[in-house]
Structure 1
């Protein structure tokens, strides 16, 4: 389980300034992290920033933060990155091996915001190098949760959840009363289709699905919010982060996105975390943990909000929630395959190859197909996790090809 923010050992370990690396620096989490760091520049030294392929954006954030090293995952962009950093004194590197080498650089904290299963190996490498992790990559826990948390325990790494919901729960958990937790509830905005009928959802367009009512995020996570798969993935994450079984993990739709999560204790007390819908708030908490520092983020004004409403999720219109919970209860192979199939299906929807409702249908079909090959298997290594992920993707591409007559590779 993630350790309590009152941990005295962590207070002793802290030093100022802290060294920090940002993996996935050009995405929405990376941009928000950079904003927090720039507001508190005397507290941080930025060692590494990485990106998949956005040369200009990576060079710009590296210069703004005064990073020592900038790394692209795409090796073809190395010459352009070096040119963009010319005269800055910032090192440049590229390629998957360079990403792993950068992950092994000694730092105090790594912000793990690489999207997808590609984030697993570098994040584990950072843990093994002695870093604490501000975790914004769901796939580390969904693809290989047992392996990931066991590695963190073995190396004494603190895992600080960046997702607003898990960060809320982390703050609401009382260290001395963890065994008295009756339930953990993750809230959901409900996405753009909370009030749409099942019939209307048959005609969802890409533009419709990308209009999130509360958060500004990348396209993949925005689509996951629209299908509510993101809440299913968050249930899986919470199971690993907080060592709570599926039956004590709940989802509640809360359109205002003010209450991000809450913990119910055995005596009936409910401890909730409230805040504005701004990712800089949980990021600032992770970067400052176990203390807190001033950051210019929106302040919650409950009088302006006026009212808070809650409702149960509709599992028939949003079957991804059930798929994710069933996968969690089945085992690590199933959550890995669930994630792989979902990533392929979301990409296919965004490219126009399949309909919106085809995302969950594809995931369900792939889970059924994978059961005979992987049923009962544990995910015991990065190599096993990535091999399983690759097979899940292959099965998803085949399923989409059969049903829709399209190629997705």
Structure 2
């Protein structure tokens, strides 16, 4: 081993549990582990329902356990891993048992509100949580961060923008920070005329110019709701007020986040648009690990441009920022309504600009009912989440009619 490799090497093998193992984040995690098999020990892999993909990954990474949230495909998983020595299980209780296993790092990448309870349960004393689930902070940020503090656990942000800010944020001197800036590519419709956006199709909206992402996040990027959700997350991750958070549209997706300091300094993190960079940062933290990511060539890129977001053409961003300032459970209703509306858009039930309209109507209705007060428990958050989904579904049905 060379001196450079030794410096890059962790003091011990890191035991890892992955929630959402077969999703896009989980697959990137698996790629990095496969490239560094002597650095990581896979304690458990948890997936929703993809038995074949989970079995293949468990065998490739020599995992100790493979768990399906949905028990309907459990027999397939069990048969695929028979004789391998890998433990198999399914169902909610099995997921909670998986996060109870001895592990150093839990990567929380279950998509949607379904990831809230398992990721909360994974918070244990001294454990690291690499968080890629938006709902934990958007829907239950105060509760989630409160448990992180109570258990003396550590949270590492996986999202590229939050990870970028984490890398340049002087946590020991938060009073020296004036502003935190998240960048947004502007999505596929950054320059589209406002009157044309009502005719956008799901196929158009799914074609992000820079990133390869799942369906919901691709649509959220196209509406810029994703950036609004990320601002809400940043409010919980970093000790800054809503007024200290800002968004800049940056089409090249090379600068992922910036922090402005009171002395006039502006620190930024740059890199190629590849999620393996922030994931690797979390997995190896506080050290660095080698990745196969294409290196950012600034000379080849030529120029970096920035512009203020257009709140008229992208009302979803405005609505999300208003929900943050409203506080309480407004962000939870925002998220539930958005996810419901995005699913309806992908099915062709509503138009592209109906997505932010549905969210705004839901927030208005729940505010009028006095249902946006802070939640006392995660169960309260999940109950409100379901209620908001049902309400938004009814609104969409009436809109379609």
TM-score if structure 1 supplies the norm length? 0.94
Cα deviation, residue 373, structure 1: 3.2
Structure 1 residues 69-100: Cα deviation after superposition (integer angstroms, max 9, x where no partner)? 11111111110110111221111111122212
Match of 1:101 in 2: 97
* Deviates further, 48-57 or 126-135: 126-135
Residues 374, 384 of structure 1: CA spacing in aligned structure 2 closer, same or farther, 3 A cutoff? farther
CA distance in 1, matches of 2:256, 2:181: 9
Match of 2:60 in 1: 64
CA distance in 1, matches of 2:92, 2:400: 33
Match of 1:7 in 2: none
| Structure 1 segment 177-216 matched on structure 2, within 5 A | 177-216=173-212
On the 8 A contact 2:366/2:372 being kept in 1, the answer is no
2:155 is matched with which residue: 141, 159, 182? 159
Secondary structure in 2 matching 1:277: coil
Secondary structure in 2 matching 1:252: strand
Match of 2:88 in 1: 92
Secondary structure in 1 matching 2:41: strand
| Structure 1 segment 2-401 matched on structure 2, within 5 A | 15-128=11-124, 130-375=126-371, 377-401=373-397
On the 8 A contact 1:333/1:374 being kept in 2, the answer is no
Match of 1:10 in 2: none
Structure 1 residues 182-232: Cα deviation after superposition (integer angstroms, max 9, x where no partner)? 000000000000011111111111110000000001101111101100000
Secondary structure in 2 matching 1:128: coil
Secondary structure in 1 matching 2:188: coil
Secondary structure in 2 matching 1:127: coil
Cα deviation, residue 374, structure 1: 4.1
CA distance in 2, matches of 1:158, 1:104: 16
Match of 1:11 in 2: none
Cα deviation, residue 177, structure 1: 2.5
CA distance in 2, matches of 1:103, 1:143: 21
Cα deviation, residue 382, structure 1: 1.4
CA distance in 2, matches of 1:346, 1:100: 29
Secondary structure in 1 matching 2:267: strand
On the 8 A contact 1:106/1:131 being kept in 2, the answer is no
CA distance in 2, matches of 1:175, 1:231: 23
On the 8 A contact 1:146/1:379 being kept in 2, the answer is no
Cα deviation, residue 375, structure 1: 4.2
Secondary structure in 2 matching 1:298: coil
Cα RMSD for the two superposed structures: 1.2
On the 8 A contact 1:23/1:51 being kept in 2, the answer is yes
TM-score if structure 2 supplies the norm length? 0.96
On the 8 A contact 1:117/1:386 being kept in 2, the answer is yes
The list of structure 1 runs, each at least 4 consecutive aligned residues, that deviate by more than 2 angstroms after superposition, is 128-131, 372-376
On the 8 A contact 2:125/2:153 being kept in 1, the answer is no
* Deviates further, 234-243 or 286-295: 286-295
CA distance in 2, matches of 1:60, 1:103: 21
Gaps of 5+ in 1: 1-13
Number of equivalenced pairs: 392
CA distance in 1, matches of 2:161, 2:184: 9
Cα deviation, residue 376, structure 1: 5.1
CA distance in 2, matches of 1:162, 1:121: 18
CA distance in 1, matches of 2:97, 2:395: 36
Residues 376, 202 of structure 1: CA spacing in aligned structure 2 closer, same or farther, 3 A cutoff? closer
Structure 1 residues 371-408: Cα deviation after superposition (integer angstroms, max 9, x where no partner)? 13344521221111111111111111111111113xxx
